């Protein structure tokens, strides 16, 4: 199968819709940093707060785009100015990044959330690769250390749960450890971060993954066993699992481990079989492995990032294995995604759909959506489809 027409469509969406939408609307030209509460038309509907991990994701994305064939010089300037705002205002007395700042850069929400450190590491590392400036390397490695140090107790002194509350290990932290490890290897031209990738991979494939249920659990107990007695323990987030799998495929490709790649491919198919809505199409947000009631009221919704990450996963698996089952899934998910998420009137994509595929919210950016999953998906998919086409020509 030739992907040329898909590539043209993805490139057009990235360069003519997604990037211009955010470049025009997200930059705070007065105080610095980025607005990410964007309405359907791109207008800012809340300029009072700037969430750190949303801002760092924008830094990362503009830096990454600067290093592509679509390069615009001002994209690096945007990333660097965001970095300057966030590093100047964003840290507490212990060097931990706050969760949120005010519009002007004053601390708004404490450093209780570890993902601010996570995306500070990614954004800074990308800027180092783009510029070679030492300060970005130092910031990236310091932020990564802060992230790793807090991974098993991410909220630290801000934890509101008492000792008797059940404790879990969270998939999100370990998949992001693997992703940062890969990004650091790439940005710093090393393989020393394979240690972190391998540790995360072993934990996810041997503990979060269940051969019995053929799913990846979102939370496991501290002793690395599955908890079927609670809603948190039974929770499945298919999108997270699929995102983690393409992170691990990067590692499998880098070390040329065909057995690992085959194993990950089987997990991808299992997660899609489990997570696909057989009646309305699309992939569920949250699920209960025993099909018991879910506490998350948005469990049946269809979210943009879940479908973004799923398409990357199946494209990557197809590229590495040439198994047509992944091509079939690509066509299926791609068709549903492009039918329901893009906003033909104002550009960009809707984020939140009901189970049938109708938008429930018209915003383009908020507390959880920013300039990250969607442009990364388009960029990574274009890259993978180009590599597949090259294979076909050879």
Q: What would be the CATH architecture of the domain defined by 1-26+170-394?
A: Alpha/alpha barrel (1.50)
Contact (Cβ atoms closer than 8 angstroms) between residue 246 and residue 316:
yes
Domain positions in the chain are 1-26+170-394, 32-165
For the entire predicted model, the pTM comes to 0.97
Instruction: State how far the alpha carbon of 352 is from the alpha carbons of 118, 344, 346, in Å.
Output: 25, 16, 16
Closest CA to 138 of 130, 128, 148, 129: 128
User: Per-residue pLDDT tens for 313-372?
Assistant: 999 999 999 999 999 999 999 999 999 999 999 999 999 999 999 999 999 999 999 999
How buried is 290 (Cβ within 10 angstroms: 0-12 exposed, 13-18 middle, 19+ buried)?
A: exposed
Q: What is the pLDDT of residues 365-380, one digit of tens each?
A: 999 999 999 999 999 9
Statement: residue 159 has pLDDT above 90: no
Please tell me the predicted confidence (pLDDT) of residue 9: 98
107-109 and 100-102 as β-strands: parallel, antiparallel, unpaired?
antiparallel
Q: How far apart are CA 138 and CA 121, in angstroms?
A: 10
Average pLDDT over residues 182-191: 97
**Topology of domain 32-165, CATH:** Glycosyltransferase (1.50.10)
Judge whether 353 and 360 are in contact, CB under 8 Å: yes
The dihedral over CA atoms of 242, 243, 246, 251, expressed in degrees to the nearest 10, equals -130
Distances 157 to 29, 116, 166 between C-alpha atoms, Å: 35, 16, 17
Of 358, 340, 374, residue with least CA distance to 21: 374
Q: Tell me how long the chain is.
A: 394
pLDDT tens string 268-304: 999 999 999 999 999 999 999 999 999 888 999 999 9
Query: b or e along 170-185 (b: 16 or more beta carbons within 10 Å of the residue's beta carbon)?
Result: bbbbbbbbbbbbbbbb
pLDDT tens profile 35-83: 999 999 999 999 999 999 999 999 999 999 999 999 999 999 999 999 9
Strand partners, 44: 38
């Amino acid at each position: 199968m030739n992907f040329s027409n898909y590539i043209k469509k993805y490139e057009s969406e990235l360069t003519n819709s997604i990037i211009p939408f955010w470049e025009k609307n997200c930059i705070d030209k007065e105080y610095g940093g980025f607005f990410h509460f964007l309405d359907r038309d791109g207008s800012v509907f809340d300029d009072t707060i700037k969430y750190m991990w949303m801002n760092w994701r924008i830094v990362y994305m503009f830096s990454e785009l600067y290093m592509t064939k679509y390069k615009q010089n001002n994209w690096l300037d945007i990333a660097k100015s965001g970095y300057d705002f966030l590093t100047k205002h964003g840290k507490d007395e212990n060097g931990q990044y706050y969760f949120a700042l005010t519009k002007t850069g004053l601390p708004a929400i404490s450093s209780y959330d570890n993902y601010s450190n996570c995306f500070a590491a990614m954004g800074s590392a990308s800027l180092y690769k783009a510029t070679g400036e030492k300060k970005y390397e130092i910031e990236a490695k310091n932020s990564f250390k802060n992230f790793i140090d807090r991974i098993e107790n991410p909220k630290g002194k801000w934890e509101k749960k008492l000792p008797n509350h059940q404790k879990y290990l969270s998939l999100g932290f370990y998949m992001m450890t693997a992703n940062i490890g890969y990004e650091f290897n790439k940005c710093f031209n090393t393989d020393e971060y394979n240690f972190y990738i391998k540790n995360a991979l072993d934990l996810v494939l041997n503990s979060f993954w269940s051969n019995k249920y053929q799913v990846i659990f979102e939370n496991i107990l501290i002793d690395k066993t599955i908890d079927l007695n609670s809603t948190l323990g039974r929770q499945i987030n298919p999108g997270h699992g699929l995102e983690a799998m393409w992170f691990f495929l990067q590692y499998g490709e880098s070390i040329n481990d065909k057995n690992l790649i085959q194993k990950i491919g089987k997990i991808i198919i299992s997660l899609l079989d489990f997570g696909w809505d057989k009646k309305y199409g699309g992939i569920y947000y949250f699920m209960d492995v025993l099909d018991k009631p879910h506490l998350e009221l948005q469990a049946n919704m269809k979210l943009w990032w879940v479908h973004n990450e799923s398409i990357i996963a199946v494209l990557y698996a197809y590229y590495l294995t040439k198994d047509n089952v992944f091509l079939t899934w690509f066509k299926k998910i791609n068709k549903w995604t492009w039918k329901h998420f893009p906003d033909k009137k104002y550009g960009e994509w809707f984020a939140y759909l009901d189970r049938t595929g109708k938008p429930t919210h018209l915003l383009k950016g908020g507390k959880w959506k920013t300039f990250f999953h969607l442009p990364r998906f388009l960029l990574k998919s274009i890259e993978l489809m180009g590599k597949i086409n090259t294979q076909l020509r050879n």
